Copies of this chain bind each other. A is one copy, B any other.
């Protein structure tokens, strides 16, 4: 086994001529140490190139300064911005973020959560609320604070920093319906285990209901998250709706929407003249496709930042759940237009 031989607190204390307690305080609560001692200690730290041993600190202080994040995927941009913001906040507090991804698999998510807790995570950021209750009981048993993001809930026991997917989706679809669309299809990410996706579909249904269209007028196709699958979904929709073809295709996210737009164009439809397409998330890709996507902007950055602050506070002093609702806004670009008549 490897045998590192790094300077320890004791080495520092010896060099500085103080006790280890004082050195420890210098590092953790500098205000409790006199100016002059602190200076001497810090010089010793410098000269020895001392860095505290993580394990020892974790065990002695019973916390690690590690905050775990489990996101469904790293492979596309949806969560990246939020995670980056989350990290930056933690960084400024000398804490560390541990990220893991679940590939949208509940089992893998459960495993990742256990791993993170096993690694000593002081708190956890999760996406959405839909997971095995066992996980929640495990986490509360271990007294690990959890903040959820990218969604909201009525459940007063959950802390979250998110937004209401259903309302946001309804708002977008309502706007689209106001242009006169009546034949609508929806391309969703798999809604099983994904409350965000499910809520977005519900929101679309809400808007359809308000518009006095038959809610089951909307064909919903579910498919995994990729541009290619978006295109497949489009083709399947066209095939299924051959009698009255859709004039509007609502997509659960921008990646699928891009796939729909491209497939539609390849098959000879003009967007938005023949078919309108709307997305969700407002990730970079939505401005790259032509026409640029009309979509819903999600406050990625704020969500990450505020979630980090919230979780950090919760770890410092556990309190009642904290719930923060953020606003989304519709971004009007070129992929939504009036239906042909």
Contacts and interface: CB of A to CB of B under 8 A. Distances in A.
Interface stretch (A94-102, A243-251, A319-327): A94-102
Interface stretch (A81-89, A146-154, A215-223): A81-89
Find the residue from A51, A84, A284 having the highest chain B CB count within 10 A: A284
For this chain, the copies found in one complex come to 2
A66 B120 CA distance: 12
A115 B258 CA distance: 39
Contacts of A262: 288
Contacts of A30: none
A258 B289 CA distance: 10
B99 A99 contact: yes
A318 interface: yes
Interface in A268-318: 284-285, 287-290, 315, 318
Interface in A1-15: 1-4, 6
Interface centre among A6, A51, A120 (most CB of B within 10 A): A120
A56 B59 contact: yes
Interface stretch (A72-80, A173-181, A182-190): A72-80
Contacts of A84: 73-75, 101
Contacts of A315: 2
Interface residues of A, number: 60
Given A75-B80, A84-B74, A99-B99, A62 B288 contact: no
A55 B120 contact: yes
A116 B51 CA distance: 11
A333 interface: no
A141 B289 CA distance: 49
Given A99-B99, A285-B288, A119 B76 contact: no
Interface string A225-245: 001000000000000000000
A54 B64 contact: yes
A4 B143 contact: yes
A96 B111 CA distance: 12
A27 B17 CA distance: 42
Contacts of A98: 96, 98-99
A49 interface: yes
Contacts of A97: 99-100
Given A84-B101, A227-B288, A284-B76, A55 B52 contact: no
A76 B75 contact: no
A24 to B, nearest CB: 15
Contact of A3 (B1, B56, B58, B62): B62
Given A55-B64, A98-B98, 6 more contacts: A49-B138, A55-B59, A55-B120, A75-B81, A96-B100, A285-B285
In the A-B complex, the 4 residue pairs with the smallest Cβ-Cβ separation, listed nearest first, are A55-B58, A55-B59, A54-B120, A55-B55
6 contacts: A51-B114, A55-B55, A75-B84, A227-B288, A288-B288, A290-B290
